[in-house]
């Protein structure tokens, strides 16, 4: 029996145990949910060093400060926001009654837990996306099983250790393993399944979930455009883009995947990139503040993207202030700009997920908008401008999972805002109230008053009914 086979058997046992536990308590109290959220919060805060060490072990190099910023701030902010608002979220909401029965009935909407939720988290944010969605899942009163990515094995082992120590397995459990386990995970009849990863695997997850009509939330990434208008091509703007692009060496689904600058401004943009990156990272390779590429496969993939651009004679600028050699063993590479790339290059065909940034130009803002709309809908879109009309034009004429104005990625750090994609970049949301709703059944409840007004709608029909219908249909 393979390790995956044993873990698959354990997964089925955990799933059945959680289903039975949910049947025994289908509407956990406010106090119970707060207790679960508090346990999660204390667990994260008490194990910050262990978390930073595990993430660094998986990446090779991953600054502990970055781990606290990118992996811990999100879940902790979400816990605090949920605890502050949970009582209001749980309260049934009154809804209007149709004129037919006005004064003779009441309507309300209650949010009920869906049951047992599966969470398949990725390797690039192994802590944030394992623990963050648990906030929404537990706040909504559900049980959960987490399947961390096998590409971050040290973090997966720590996630299992921490959650097993903190929660009863009928509330939160963890399974760890490879592809066979992942396939088995998607095939269970979950009450809801959350998957974060790439679109191709997302298709398989959705197909497997469809066999059980399992509702899914898919967070799939994409090629996120950044538009800079002429009035905002500044050091501040470029610093925001460069600093965010270097987070996890570009291995972030909401980083800038390509940048639009006004025609004739490419050289100015490049100069600002060189200037700002040198301040942020005087050294890129021999620098504990920079992150390694997760594994050899992805390192070779990125080398292939650059080789393809070189073979097609694309103009490339390596931002390498100390002129360091690429560290193959340490899987570190400098940030490279690819200028005016054609759409047939690999760098423009797929999400990059690494330290490579294509730079395109536009004559008019509408040209940039038209280009964005000709492609798959992105997970995020960024616009840097001082002109509110230009900002509104971009927002109103494009569709994306989220938008940040004069910043990159910061919208995803807001606990009050939903996070999710659209089209090929995903479906559904988590974070905040929308996350609570995503893992709840919004149950409509109608209550008939002692005086039964609905009898007016029953046969035998006659003039009185028709007069009533004439009034209602006016």
Q: Higher pLDDT residue, 470 or 279? A: 279
What pLDDT is attached to residue 1? 34
Q: Higher pLDDT residue, 82 or 1? A: 82
Work out the average pLDDT over 332-340. Answer: 97
264-292 burial by CB neighbour count: b if 16+ within 10 A, else e? ebbeebbebbbebbbebbebbbebeebbb
Q: What architecture is domain 3-220+425-442?
A: 3-Layer(aba) Sandwich (3.40)
Collapsed DSSP state (helix, strand, coil) of residue 336: strand
Which strand ranges, in their side-by-side order, compose the sheet holding 105-113? 93-95, 105-113, 440-448
Instruction: Name the one residue in this structure whose structure tokens are 């993207």.
Output: 305
Q: What is the DSSP letter of 403?
A: E
Cα–Cα distance between 365 and 347 in angstroms, integer? 23
Does residue 434 carry a catalytic annotation? no
Among 7, 253, 273, 351, the one annotated catalytic:
253
Which are the contacts of 367, defined by CB distance < 8 A and separation ≥ 6? none
Neighbours of 256 (CB within 10 A): 24
Among 7, 71, 219, 351, the one annotated catalytic:
219
Superfamily the domain 225-415 falls into: Aldehyde Dehydrogenase; Chain A, domain 2 (3.40.309.10)
Neighbours of 461 (CB within 10 A): 10
Cα–Cα distance between 64 and 56 in angstroms, integer? 8
Cα–Cα distance between 41 and 86 in angstroms, integer? 15
Instruction: Evaluate if residue 400 carries a pLDDT over 90.
Output: yes
Instruction: Evaluate if residue 452 carries a pLDDT over 80.
Output: no
Work out the average pLDDT over 403-414. Answer: 97
Cα–Cα distance between 269 and 242 in angstroms, integer? 11
Cα–Cα distance between 134 and 430 in angstroms, integer? 10
Q: What does the mean pLDDT of the chain come to?
A: 95
Q: Residues 107, 445: contact at Cβ < 8 Å?
A: yes
Q: Residues 22, 113: contact at Cβ < 8 Å?
A: yes
Instruction: Evaluate if residue 344 carries a pLDDT over 70.
Output: yes
Q: Where are the beta strands (DSSP E) in 84-157?
A: 93-95, 105-113, 116-120, 143-147
Residue 472: pLDDT band by 50, 70, 90 thresholds?
confident
Instruction: Name the one residue in this structure whose structure tokens are 């390509």.
Output: 258
When mean pLDDT is compared across 62-66, 81-85, 129-133, 460-464, the lowest value belongs to 460-464
Q: What is the CA radius of gyration of the chain?
A: 25
Instruction: Evaluate if residue 318 carries a pLDDT over 60.
Output: yes
Angle subtended by helix axes 388-396 and 365-373, to nearest 10: 20
- For the chain, the distance separating the N- and C-terminal CA atoms, rounded to the nearest angstrom, is 70
Cα–Cα distance between 311 and 420 in angstroms, integer? 36
Q: What is the DSSP letter of 386?
A: S
Work out the average pLDDT over 160-170. Answer: 98
What pLDDT is attached to residue 453? 66
What pLDDT is attached to residue 451? 75
Percent of the chain with pLDDT over 90: 91
The reply to whether 225-415 shares the fold of 3-220+425-442 is no
Does residue 219 carry a catalytic annotation? yes
pTM: 0.94
Instruction: Evaluate if residue 284 carries a pLDDT over 70.
Output: yes
Q: Is the peptide bond before 460 cis (omega within 30 degrees of 0)?
A: yes
What pLDDT is attached to residue 355? 98
* Structure tokens belonging to residue 214: 């399992």
Domain boundaries, the chain: 3-220+425-442, 225-415
Work out the average pLDDT over 219-228. Answer: 96
């Amino acid at each position: 029996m393979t390790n995956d086979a044993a873990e698959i058997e354990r997964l089925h046992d955990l799933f059945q145990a959680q289903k039975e536990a949910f049947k025994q308590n289908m509407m956990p109290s406010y106090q119970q949910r707060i207790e679960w959220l508090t346990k999660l919060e204390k667990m994260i805060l008490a194990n910050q060093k262990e978390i930073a060490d595990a993430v660094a072990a998986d990446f090779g190099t991953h600054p502990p400060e970055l781990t606290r910023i990118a992996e811990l701030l999100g879940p902790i902010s979400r816990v605090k926001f949920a605890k502050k608002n949970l009582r209001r979220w749980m309260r049934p909401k009154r809804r209007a009654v149709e004129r037919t029965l006005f004064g003779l009935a009441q309507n309300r909407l209650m949010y009920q837990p869906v049951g047992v939720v599966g969470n398949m988290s990725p390797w690039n944010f192994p802590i944030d996306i394992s623990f963050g969605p648990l906030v929404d899942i537990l706040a909504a009163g559900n049980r959960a099983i987490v399947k961390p990515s096998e590409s971050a094995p040290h973090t997966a082992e720590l996630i299992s250790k921490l959650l097993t120590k903190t929660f009863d397995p009928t509330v939160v459990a963890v399974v760890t393993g490879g592809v066979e386990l992942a396939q088995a995970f998607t095939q269970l009849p979950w009450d809801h399944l959350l998957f974060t990863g790439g679109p191709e695997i997302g298709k398989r997850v959705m197909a497997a979930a469809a066999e059980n009509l399992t509702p899914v939330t898919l967070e799939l990434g994409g090629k996120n455009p950044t538009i800079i208008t002429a009035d905002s091509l500044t050091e501040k703007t470029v610093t925001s883009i460069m600093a965010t692009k270097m987070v996890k060496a570009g291995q972030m689904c909401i980083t800038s995947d390509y940048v639009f600058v006004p025609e004739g401004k490419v050289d100015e943009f490049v100069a600002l990139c060189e200037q700002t990156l040198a301040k942020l990272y005087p050294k890129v390779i021999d620098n504990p503040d920079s992150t390694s590429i997760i594994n050899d496969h992805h390192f070779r993939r990125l080398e292939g993207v650059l080789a393809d651009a070189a073979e097609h004679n694309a103009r490339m600028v390596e931002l390498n202030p100390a002129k360091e050699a690429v560290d193959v063993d340490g899987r570190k590479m400098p940030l490279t700009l690819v200028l005016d790339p054609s759409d047939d290059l690999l760098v423009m065909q797929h999400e990059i997920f690494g330290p490579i940034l294509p730079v395109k130009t536009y004559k008019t803002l509408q040209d940039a908008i038209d280009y964005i709309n000709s492609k798959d809908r992105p997970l995020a879109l960024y616009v840097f401008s001082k002109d509110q009309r230009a900002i509104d034009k971009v927002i109103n004429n494009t569709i994306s999972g989220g938008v940040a104005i004069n910043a990159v990625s910061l919208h995803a750090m807001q606990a009050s805002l939903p996070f999710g994609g659209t089209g090929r970049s995903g479906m559904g949301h988590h974070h905040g109230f929308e996350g609570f709703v995503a893992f709840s059944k919004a149950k409509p409840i109608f209550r008939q008053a002692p005086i039964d007004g609905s009898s007016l709608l029953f046969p035998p029909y006659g003039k009185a009914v028709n007069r009533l219908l004439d009034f209602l249909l006016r």
